[in-house]
Structure 1
Amino acid sequence: MRVAIVHDWLPFMGGAENVIINMHEVFPEAPIYTSMCNRMNMRGALRDADIRTTFLQKTDKKMLNHRRLFPYMPTAMESIDLRGYDVVISSSTSVGKSVITGPDTLHICYCNTPMRYAWEQRHNYIGPLVGKGGFKNRMISYFMTFMRVWDYATSARVDVFVGNSVNVAKRIRKYYRRDAYVIHCPVRTAMFHTTKEDGGFFLCVSRLQEYKGIELAVKVCSDNNLPLYVIGTGPMKEKLEAMAGPTVKFLGFVDDDELKDYYARCKALIFPGVEDFGITPLEAQASGRPVIALGKGGILETVIENETGVFFDEPTPNSLLEAIRRFESMTFDKEKIRAHALEFDESVFKDRLKRFVEEQYRIFKEKQMEGITVYK
């Protein structure tokens, strides 16, 4: 069984890229096709993997803003030659699923999310990008209308959809009118550990972007003199630092050794955004620490309320503060929290993925002649 892996783009490492590492470890002989790649940013198994790029990769130099290439991505992905493969696994948050395969090739799409900026979060993305009103805003809106039509049309190129969560499977059904299996994202639980030491601080680990909701955590902790450490960088960094009180510390980027230490010592991870799945809450739980989270989206599948964390209902200061106060009155079992996170370990994902691909390929081969009648 010849397998190929497809991903939207590889400018840097993140949660979706860790999924690709796990796919590569399950199918080590499979080449990885992508629109463009910053090879110097790759780590782990991707550093030396067989990564094949499109015509958008005009240089080996670091590409600082891959989003500028987005208008060319549909053509780039459709130019990838996947002839000769029995199975193509596309890992897609945007354009990855759009590759074209032949009738003898099974195309499985592992969908991290339908294209956010084309569908229900389009206003969150387009507004900050172009500002209020104006010609540029209208042009991008027209372009995104085309992208929605194209995105829906390319969903028909997929034989089997897999969502990374029930939350994403619901969105696949909504926007593509397709059913999907669910295989939860892999988490590097072995990297994290518990400790008896308590640093006495709350923690946020996130890219500092508006939709992540970090502003809410900074405001609540600043207004109530609660210690908060914020790990991550992004376009909102200066704004958040300007509004933060003396109890809030911004640590920027930290390496893995520092990260797992902060996770292990924090009182709890504050997770104020809505994510398709959410890796950081499971990393915190793998460290034996509970999560205080907005009770919407993928977090409902990864946190057990009052056992591995607490939820708040609305993205408002009062709602978050009430959840923090409730958390302060509770006790949590670190080992029980970590045991829950182990259910999402990389080894679980890889076992499920391997069995699923083999099963779906067998079914695909058995059903290839269904509905075909040779008329004589």
Structure 2
Amino acid sequence: MTVMKVAIVHDWLTTWAGAEKALAELLACYPQAEIFTMVNFLPVDKIPSLVGRTIHTSLIQKLPGARKHYRRYLPLMPLAVEQFDLKGFDLILSSSHAVAKGVISDPGAVHVCYCYSPMRYAWDMQHQYLRQAGREKGIFSWVMRWQLHRLRQWDYLSAQRVDHFVAISQYIQRRINTFYRREADVIYPPVDVEKFRHDRPREAFYLTASRMVPYKRIDLVIEAFNHMPEKQLIVIGDGPDHDKLSTLAGPNVTLMGYQPDSVLIDHLERTQAFLFMAEEDFGILPVEAQAAGAPVIGYGVGGLTETTLNNVTGLWVNSQDSQALVECLQAFEAQKQQDPNAYSASVCRQNAERFATVNFTQSIHDFVAKKTAKTVK
């Protein structure tokens, strides 16, 4: 049978994070696919998933300052993504949290969007975006608000070009319905659970890890441990808030900064529990923690409610508040003291295996095969 010609459209290639790990698995599913992306500033020769791939970039690739400030060209991205020539492709897979889903496909093609989230800059994070840009007031604020208004209009209209949406979680499924008025299936992102052991002895410290940016709410975790000086917290990660968080941390809090995967894995395999106070669309780290046998204590909203089992593989905090976290940690320790087998490492690991890479790959293959009614080789 004829092999489909496949295009995979990804927003931008500037870091190798969660969305790019999902992209790698999409590329593994369709080894013949060509990549289309706004900009590519990754060392392609050092990333196995990209070696030998045909990668098409947009006009933004060559604009001044694009390497460091590509996000400043957000107002141009709708125009840029629509310039990709996808004529002759049978299957378009957009890997999108911004503009990738806005490509104009051949009328005979099937366009499946794997959606990490509707564009947050344009929708529910508009005010945070304006604050970070220092544009809350004044004439430039209104210029940006107008641009975001137009971006919302384009984002909604371009979503109507997609044939089939796939959301990374039920949480995002609801957002797609709210903002785009479209239905979506759910296929959870791939997590490499096999790189973790779950049978190592647990130690007394607690762990949190993430990029240090405001919405991750590492500050709440540190504040909680400032109220519990007898307990030890280790923080792994770096980012713009590092210095502020370092000043906030008491003597029982250790900030390790950026660490390689091997160090993070080692700590996940030994920690008493992993702490996670962000409101995330999915959240790969809580799944990785469970794969390493660690229960997760975190804010019970968003993806965490889908990846953890409350009172079984984790404990949900009812508000983004340091005192609420303190009370939750006290309840967790009381449960462990009463029943040493509570939050067992093997049950945590078993729950994490629902999100294994092999499940993602099979689900994507089955979904696309059903929607294209063709045999994918």
* TM interval, short-chain normalised: over 0.9
The reply on whether 1:35 has 2:38 as its aligned counterpart is yes
Aligned to 1:371: none
Report deviation, 1:113.
0.3
Cα pair 1:167 1:297 within 8 Å, conserved: yes
- Within the candidate set 313, 330, 346, 1:325 is matched to 330
Give CA-to-partner distance per residue, 1:201-229, whole Å, 9 cap, x none. 21111111111111111111123223211
> How high is the TM-score relative to the length of structure 2?
0.92
Distance in 2 of aligned mates of 1:34 and 1:319: 42
Read off the aligned partner of 2:279 and give its amino acid letter.
V
| Match of residue 236 from structure 2 | 231
Q: Does 1:342 align with 2:346?
A: no
Instruction: State the partner residue of 2:293.
Output: 288
1:79 equivalent in structure 2: 83
Are residue 49 (structure 1) and residue 53 (structure 2) matched?
yes
Q: Deviations over 1:320-364 (max 9, x none)?
A: 11111111122321011101101100110001101110110119x
1:164 aligns with 2:168: yes
Q: 1:220 aligns with which of 224, 237, 243?
A: 224
Aligned residue among 93, 98, 101 for 2:97? 93
* C-alpha distance in 2 between matches for 1:224 and 1:131: 39
State how many pairs are aligned. Answer: 363
Question: Which runs of 5 or more structure 1 residues have no equivalent in the other structure?
Answer: 364-376
What secondary structure does 2:86 align onto?
coil
C-alpha RMSD over aligned residues: 1.8
Q: Report the 3-state secondary structure (helix = DSSP H, G, I; strand = E; otherwise coil) of the residue aligned with 1:39.
A: coil
Given that 1:290 and 1:332 are in contact with CA atoms closer than 8 Å, whether structure 2 keeps it comes out as yes
2:123 maps to 1:133: no
Report the more deviating stretch, 31-40 or 219-228.
Answer: 219-228
Determine whether 1:19 maps to 2:22. Answer: yes
Match of 2:339 in 1: none
Kept in 1, the 8 Å contact 2:75–2:151? The answer is no
| Displacement of 1:133 | 2.2
TM-score, length-scaled by structure 1 = 0.92
1:23-61 deviation digits (Å, cap 9, x = unpaired): 0011011011101011227634134433221122229x9
Which amino acid in structure 1 is aligned with residue 258 of structure 2? Answer: F
Q: Quick check: 308-317 or 251-260, which moved more?
A: 251-260
Deviation at 1:199, TM superposition (A): 3.4
Note the 1:221-370 alignment, pairs <5 A: 221-225=225-229, 226-329=231-334, 330=336, 331-362=342-373
Q: Deviations over 1:135-164 (max 9, x none)?
A: 332222121111111101101110111101
Distance, in Å, in 1 between the alignment partners of 2:14 and 2:304 is: 26
Partner in structure 1 of residue 70 of structure 2? 66
Query: Following the alignment from structure 2 to structure 1, what is the Cα–Cα distance between the partners of residues 263 and 54?
Result: 30
Task: Render the CA deviation track for 1:270-308: whole Å, top value 9, x for unaligned.
Answer: 110101111110010010000001000111110001110
Instruction: Work out the percentage of aligned pairs sharing the same amino acid.
Output: 37
Q: Distance in 1 between matches of 2:155 and 2:136?
A: 26
- The DSSP-based 3-state class of the residue aligned with 1:259 is helix
Residue from 144, 149, 152 that aligns with 1:148? 152
Gaps of at least 5 residues in structure 2 are: 337-341
Displacement of 1:134 in angstroms is 2.7
State the distance in 1 between where 2:237 and 2:27 align.
27
* Counterparts of 1:48 and 1:248, CA distance in 2: 45
Query: C-alpha distance in 2, partners of 1:132/1:103?
Result: 42
Q: C-alpha separation between the residues in 2 aligned to 1:187 and 1:162?
A: 17
Deviation at 1:128, TM superposition (A): 2.5
Write the letter of the residue equivalent to 1:17.
E
- SS of the residue corresponding to residue 63 of structure 1 reads helix
Give 2:217's aligned amino acid: G
Retained in 2: the 8 A contact 1:189–1:283? yes
After the TM superposition, which of the residue ranges 224-233 and 170-179 deviates more from structure 2?
224-233
Deviation at 1:90, TM superposition (A): 0.1
What SS is found at the alignment partner of 1:117? coil
Q: Given that residues 124 and 211 in structure 1 are in contact (C-alpha distance below 8 angstroms), is that contact kept between their aligned partners in structure 2?
A: no
Distance change >3 Å, CA 47–CA 280, structure 1 → 2 = farther
Equivalents in 2 of 1:359, 1:306: separation in Å? 37
The amino acid across from 2:367 in the alignment is F
Q: Look up the match of 1:200.
A: 204
The whole-number CA distance in structure 2 between the counterparts of 1:33 and 1:348 is 25
Give the superposition deviation at 1:132. Answer: 4.3
- 1:368 alignment partner in structure 2: none
How many angstroms apart in 2 are the aligned matches of 1:297 and 1:191?
A: 26
